[in-house]
Structure 1
Amino acid sequence: MVASMRIVFGLLTFVTIGMIIGALFQLAFIRRLEDSYGSEFPTFGRVRRRQLDGYLQLPGGIHHWNDDKEAAILRLGYVKPEIISWSPRIIVLHNFLSMEGIKSNVRTSSGMFLSHEERKYPMVQAIEKRISVYSQIPVENGELVQVLRYEKSQFYKPHHDYFSDTFNLKRGGQRVATMLMYLSDNVEGGETYFPMAGTGECSCGGKMVKGLSVKPVKGDAILFWSLGLDGQSDPNSIHGGCEVLSGEKWSATKWMRQRSTS
């Protein structure tokens, strides 16, 4: 009996350590992307990088992806990751979307999902590929992108993105992570609020509350995980949309599952 318990405990310890190492590798990968792609067109060879306004910039040289259309449209070098919380795991990706990747005349409703046909648009595919790169979750594991508009006085109460029922788990399994992309600027209020993150106070819809919040900035995105390092639902990932005080807040959300959703 004691020997069996030791074996089980050893296996659980091994699995937990493996998941922690995997998460650290994932975050190291994101940091390495920022270090490696300091400008739109990185160069060959060993070059000296110089810091400019918080971004790594490479001097001119041979553009090694001039003929790579997929790499050019992804333009990883514009993105600047900022880890703002380890529990729950939250990363702000500054400049995640370029300006030409934001504008769309497809629909103007307050809330809608892109259709399967719209998902085939080159720009949508490029954005989904970029999400996959930074989340390290396959494109096919993602749900359809949802676009939302919050007008003055609108908000979204704190909630979890993971499922608590079995019905929604049938197609793709549990939600692993969420990518929330901001599509509009000049919004007062409308922060994305994480009440269980951080140890201080933050602004949420003009009020000071306990937790951590991210102000909507056009082109930025938030990547956060709904599952903890143990593979279980993380209650600390609870989040909400603060009240919009003025302007309109437009956002696009992408949820990623454990398996393919198709």
Structure 2
Amino acid sequence: MAGAAAAGGGDWAAVFEAERQGALRGATGPLTPELVLAELRRSHAAEQQLGAQLARLATREAGLAAAAAASAAENQQLRSALHSARAVADPSLVQLRQLLLDPAVNREVSRLRTELEGARREVAAAQAELRARQFGREPLVGKLEALQDENSDLRRQVGDGRVAQLERTVAAAREQLEESRRVTKELEQQAVGLDQQAEALADALALAQRGTAPPRPRPACTLGALDEAPDDEEGAPVWRLDATELASALKGSDGGGQRCAASSAFSLPPAVLPPAAACKRLLARQRWRLLCSADGAGGALGVALQWLGGPCYPSTAGNSFCGELKVDVRCVGGGGGQPLLHKRAWLLHAFNDRTPEAALPGLVAGAELQGGGEGLELEVRVSFESAAVHVQSPIPGLVVAEEPHLVLKVSEDPCLLLADRFLSPQECEAVRALGGPYLKRSKVSAGDETPLRTSWGTFLTGQMAVHPVAVHLDDRVEELTRLACKIERRAALALSEATQIVKYDRGQFYALHMDNRAGDCARRAATVMIYLSDVEAGGATSFPRSSGYPLRRALQTCAAGWRNEPAAPPGTPTPADGGNGNGGRGRSAGLRIAPVEGRAVIFWSRMADGEEDKCSIHEAEKVEAGTKWIATRWCREAQPAAQG
């Protein structure tokens, strides 16, 4: 026994060496009792930790078991309640007959039915919760993946559907645009026809009104009708008059007094109108009358041209027909038909409702007709050396083009042209819709925000620049610039920067500024601005240094070839005092252009000699009520003029 113990004691080190290779794999060096005790302590601590974990798991298991028991009990209660509710809900026929006789019972039955529905919903929720607790991880993952695949398919289908929908929308928009262009063209043709009809009606109305006016004194003799076969080298029509009685009146042999003769109403043929006149079409539709007067007391012969009225341009008022008239008067005696005298004079006048008549009262002295004898004949020729139409409304200006748009020159300094109804309301709405979603706080040309400009704006760049609406707008702007350069004989303009859409809300404005950048008028030689909306109050574009375009300036334009042979009689108006003196208003206090939907203006910031036009400074006045929309496009000169 002792030997065995000794043998066992002898194997103690071998046993622990084996344990060191197994349980004590982390030990190094010789195996000592202290090392064994430390390992035992660690094993005991690990055993205690495992015991604590086991206790916690047991507690959690007990909790789950209690929850399951509570759920089972609740389920049993719900089943009992359901059974009871069914028993109550399915009474016998006799019970129903007895219960339905009492209204209180009916109300109770209704309440119980409501509770039954609530109980059914609770049972369904409990069953769903039970199934969720019994639902494993793997089925859940599979279902989640199936749902993700289904969502991907739905996204792909929705994307394909949206693309197809967008393609259909674009195709429909293109078709609608083509249809709109066709309808617009037809409407323009109809509008031209209606304008012609309106002009004809206005012509007839004017003649009717003239016919109801107080008649002039009955003429003592009558001028002949307009000769349809002009007999002079210039192609001017001729009025002839048997002037024997007229000569007698000039000599005072009939007791003195004034005698007059008048032609029938006529229209001026193209031969007597300036070939390059912008108003030639309208001027040819006016009605005129030639007057000849003989003053027996003064012994002088006078000739006058009287405007009887006619149509005016649509949407305009206060028309004045300005021109420099050339009047030729010849008197041929009865013996041999030789010219007794030949008088030629030029007269500058503005024909309008206030001054419808231009006269040369003392053109021929009576003594010059003595010796004519019988058969004295008077020949009168009238032609326009220059002609222009000035309007007072919508803005005082000179008509510089009749088609394809009526264009007014409303300022000379700066040079500014205006065209109403340049864009239709539909076109204006399309431009607003294109730029509206992208508006940001407006900046000045240097790229900074400033309290001097408080509007909202955006540039049509990128995809917006190639949008059909933007392309159509560029085409219209180029059409206007070509026409303006042709009218003003200026260097051709090219579009430079992108179109800018600007919106002014109530209270917003843009203070006085120049459009060119720090005097670089070569980059922004001209500006095209289109008003895209009406404004209830305020919002006008003001040019404080402009003198506008009054009637006096229109007369000065027509007086470029002013001359008079011999010198003008005393009292004859001259270009220096504005022709007949009825239109001159002096230099105005500036030019204000009201925002009207569809109205377009073009003005130059660069003068013809290449210098900056200081008069082009302007401002956008504060919007008092409503909203103001504009589209602005800056232009540079395709061939810039040399700097002086």
- TM bucket (normalised to shorter chain) is 0.5 to 0.7
Q: Distance in 2 between matches of 1:55 and 1:165?
A: 39
The answer to which structure, 1 or 2, has the higher relative contact order (CA under 8 A, 6+ apart) is 1
2:625 maps to 246
Q: Is 2:433 the partner of 1:105? A: yes
1:121 aligns with 2:467: yes
Q: Tell me which residue corresponds to 2:532.
A: 183
Asked if the contact 1:181/1:219 (under 8 Å) is kept, the reply is yes
- Tell me whether 1:84 sits opposite 2:410 in the alignment: yes
Aligned AA for 2:495? N
SS of corresponding position for 2:417: strand
Partner of 2:477, secondary structure, is helix
Q: Which has the larger radius of gyration?
A: 2
Structure 2 residue matching 1:92: 3-state secondary structure: strand
Residues 162-181 of structure 1: matches in 2 within 5 Å?
162-164=516-518, 173-181=522-530
For 2:188, which of 40, 61, 76 is the aligned residue? 40
Distance 2:591 2:494 in 1: 31
Instruction: Note the C-alpha offset of 1:105.
Output: 2.4
Tell me by how many angstroms 1:242 deviates: 0.6
Structure 2 SS opposite 1:181: strand
Aligned mates of 1:122, 1:231 — CA distance in 2: 35
Q: Which residue of 1 aligns with 2:600?
A: 221
118-127 or 174-183, larger mean C-alpha shift: 118-127
- The residue aligned with 1:197 is 546
- Of stretches 139-148 and 82-91 in structure 1, the one that deviates more from structure 2 is 139-148
* Residue 93 in structure 1 maps to residue 442 in structure 2: no
**2:427 partner letter:** G
Alignment of 1:144-163 (within 5 A): 144-163=498-517
- Secondary structure of 2:465's counterpart equals helix
Paired amino acid for 1:125: V
Displacement of 1:144: 0.6
The separation in 2 between residues aligned to 1:117 and 1:157, in whole angstroms, is: 31
Residues 132/187 of structure 1: CA separation in 2 closer, same or farther (3 Å cut): same
Alpha-carbon distance in 2 for matches of 1:234, 1:199:
15
User: Unpaired runs of 5+ in structure 2?
Assistant: 1-186, 191-195, 200-310, 316-401, 440-455, 486-491, 550-587, 640-644
CA contact (8 A) 1:116 1:144 kept: no
* Deviation at residue 257 of structure 1 after TM alignment: 1.6
User: 1:116: how far off?
Assistant: 3.3
| TM-score relative to the length of structure 2 | 0.27
Instruction: Could you tell me which runs of 5 or more consecutive residues in structure 1 were left unpaired when the two chains were aligned.
Output: 1-38, 43-47, 57-75, 201-208
Letter in 2 for 1:105: A
Aligned-CA RMSD value: 3.2
| TM-score for both structures, normalised by structure 1 | 0.62
Question: 1: CA distance between counterparts of 2:493 and 2:591?
Answer: 29
> Which one has a larger percent strand, Structure 1 or Structure 2?
1
Displacement of 1:224: 0.5
Q: Which amino acid aligns with 2:470?
A: V
Asked if residue 256 in structure 1 is aligned to residue 582 in structure 2, the reply is no
Moved more, 220-229 or 95-104: 95-104
> In the alignment, which residue of structure 2 is the partner of 1:236?
615
